[in-house]
Structure 1
Amino acid sequence: MDLYEFMKEGNPGRQQTRQPGIQHEMDPLPIEEFEHWKGSGKLRGKVALITGGDSGIGRAVAIAYAKEGADIAISYLDEQKDADYAKKRIEQEGVKCILYPGDISDAVFCDNLIDHVVQDFNKLDILVNNAARQEVQNDLTDITPEQLERTFRTNFFSYFYLTRAALPHLGKGNCIINTSSVTPYIGNPTLIDYTSTKGAIVAFTRSLAKGLASKGIRVNGVAPGPIWTPLIPATMPQETLGSFGTQTPLGRPGQPVDLIGSYVLLACDEAAYITGQFIHVNGGDYMSS
């Protein structure tokens, strides 16, 4: 499908009612891979853990990594049907995939997750911190303490917990890739707490990159713009869904498949001299602000 014609298909005004959203209920479905795109073994023999790998950006990255030869561990909350599809699709590439349901906002779960991944795969090479939540509020005073804590625990604390647990298992040549957003670079008045977590991720990534450089562990990130993922119909007002992403200079929402090149690059040996950096994939949104 032509990416510019995408939102004319289906019913993008149909809103979902729960976070983090269900991909198989979206209409139209996100585009997560190009059939013509073939891997070249860039990640053969690697093990990657991807949070939020059941759907959206995470699933697109998981499929791309599988095409490049990596075995995949997927962390997700409870979206079992989406996760089962991801596992089936990944295994079609001839690699191993294991699903790990649970709440990454909990520090104990994060510690146990890393332990289980290392036990099941015998190692960990790539950690992709990606899962997130957001809640739209028109005014700062509408953000409750409970919402603020919930957003930070999922979007930022989990990155800290998982990285802390993973570090004893990572070494020279391994990498951490964190998903931020365009929002801390341009601001978003209806996503103030979400935007704050994404700004914290930028600071965390750059600080950690300096701290781990001497160990040969690279730390980078990707800052997506408006991407058509389950989080959008699950959180955005229904009246905005039909025009989602059309404000970018490229005039369309991004698709999960638009992100895969950045995540593959940052995970492979071609990025051996890149650390502490963010790749911006936002249709020109940052440039135009």
Structure 2
Amino acid sequence: MARDHVSPHAARAEATAGEQRRIQQHVDENERHGPASKKDGKARPAPTGERDYPTPPFPPQHLAKPGSEAEVQPRPQFDAPFYKGSEKLLGKVALITGGDSGIGRATAVLFAREGADIAIVYLDEHEDAEATRRAVEAEGRRCILIVGDVAEAAFCDHAVNATIQRFGKLDILVNNAAFQEHAERLEDLTEAHFDRTMKTNLYGYFFMAKAAAPHLPAGGTILNTGSVTAMRGSADLIDYSTTKGGIHAFTRALAAQLLPRGIRVNAVAPGPVWTPLNPADKPADRVSRFGGQTPMGRPAQPEEIAPAFVFLAAPSCSSYITGEILPVIGGYGGS
């Protein structure tokens, strides 16, 4: 099975994408005559990696939700050409939600480079998902695409069962799918908006973990994508910050519960990352300065976050690590 575009789950996923766009339109309408965005005039530090990653200002852009990586300019960098695999995940099977783009895509590619077969769960970004599948297969590993909404418990059961049916087992779950839409005033944060964020970011992680846990072997692992907003808060992301704080607590509590089974649970907490999530949230002028407030003076690229997931997934690297939150935020001391 290469993809799962036509199913009751696919129809529900399409409806959810439409709901996300309606929430986005509500926020956009409220901000048409709102206050000007904050300015960022900070000097940029020297490059720290093997690539000279792009820095703001970026082209102003505002994408329709859930956001397509194919439309982001400049394109997010996910292929990590200087990362050499060493069979850390050889023979493993990983299911990655939100794996079609951004951090999920970069993680899928590096997991494949380390020897894992991949199941990608995504909402309705079919072009992005196909590009991820091709990138995984270029690493010599197998990849299936599963379309649906992680806020639906029945779909999460379906996704786990489809993965096991195709690959015969499941070793790694990466909970990464997320909904983010800012609201500059509490009064503008509608119940539908708040509920959608909770359903995707918290219920989705819970449903996927509950579906996967009975199938994970001793030595298996669950990885959750947290956020710097869980630690610092974000004035215009009250709902999103709340869910990310919940994810950090969920990670630690679930780790304690699953440790007797030999299943480790950890989280990666990124700072700003150049993915479709933010151009599909913030106004175009703010997107152009995205990440400029960090000490690095730029957002991370997805390929800079994915090695943290490899580290926490590989027993050879992290067999004594569980219940931990690993921040990857571009340094401390930024505003």
Normalization by structure 2: what TM-score?
0.83
User: In structure 1, what is the equivalent of residue 319 of structure 2?
Assistant: 272
Shift of 1:4: 5.3
Shift of 1:161: 0.3
> CA separation in 1, counterparts of 2:112 and 2:197?
30
Matched, 1:75 2:121: yes
User: In structure 1, what is the equivalent of residue 142 of structure 2?
Assistant: 96
Largest Rg, 1 or 2 = 2
Tell me if the contact between 1:7 and 1:28 (Cα under 8 Å) persists in the aligned partners: no
> What percent identity do the matched residue pairs reach?
50
Secondary structure of 1:245's aligned partner = coil
> CA separation in 2, counterparts of 1:225 and 1:12?
20
Matched, 1:118 2:164: yes
Which amino acid in the other structure matches residue 253 of structure 1? Answer: P
Unaligned runs of 5+ in 1: none
Q: Which moved more, 1:31-40 or 1:46-55?
A: 31-40
Matched, 1:180 2:226: yes
Shift of 1:215: 1.0
Tell me if the contact between 2:77 and 2:302 (Cα under 8 Å) persists in the aligned partners: yes
> CA separation in 2, counterparts of 1:35 and 1:201?
31
User: In structure 2, what is the equivalent of residue 31 of structure 1?
Assistant: 77
User: In structure 2, what is the equivalent of residue 206 of structure 1?
Assistant: 252
> CA separation in 2, counterparts of 1:115 and 1:206?
26
Tell me if the contact between 1:4 and 1:252 (Cα under 8 Å) persists in the aligned partners: no
User: In structure 2, what is the equivalent of residue 44 of structure 1?
Assistant: 90
- Inter-CA distance 40–236: structure 2 relative to 1 (3 Å threshold): same
Shift of 1:105: 1.1
Shift of 1:250: 1.3
Unaligned runs of 5+ in 2: 1-48
Normalization by structure 1: what TM-score?
0.95
Q: Which moved more, 1:59-68 or 1:32-41?
A: 32-41
Tell me if the contact between 2:56 and 2:298 (Cα under 8 Å) persists in the aligned partners: no
Matched, 1:281 2:281: no
Matched, 1:7 2:48: no
The number of residue pairs the alignment matches comes to 286
Taking only aligned residues, the RMSD between alpha carbons, in angstroms, comes to: 1.5
Shift of 1:33: 2.2
Secondary structure of 1:6's aligned partner = coil
> CA separation in 1, counterparts of 2:199 and 2:65?
15
Secondary structure of 1:177's aligned partner = strand
Shift of 1:103: 0.9
Q: Which moved more, 1:270-279 or 1:242-251?
A: 242-251
Which amino acid in the other structure matches residue 273 of structure 1? Answer: Y
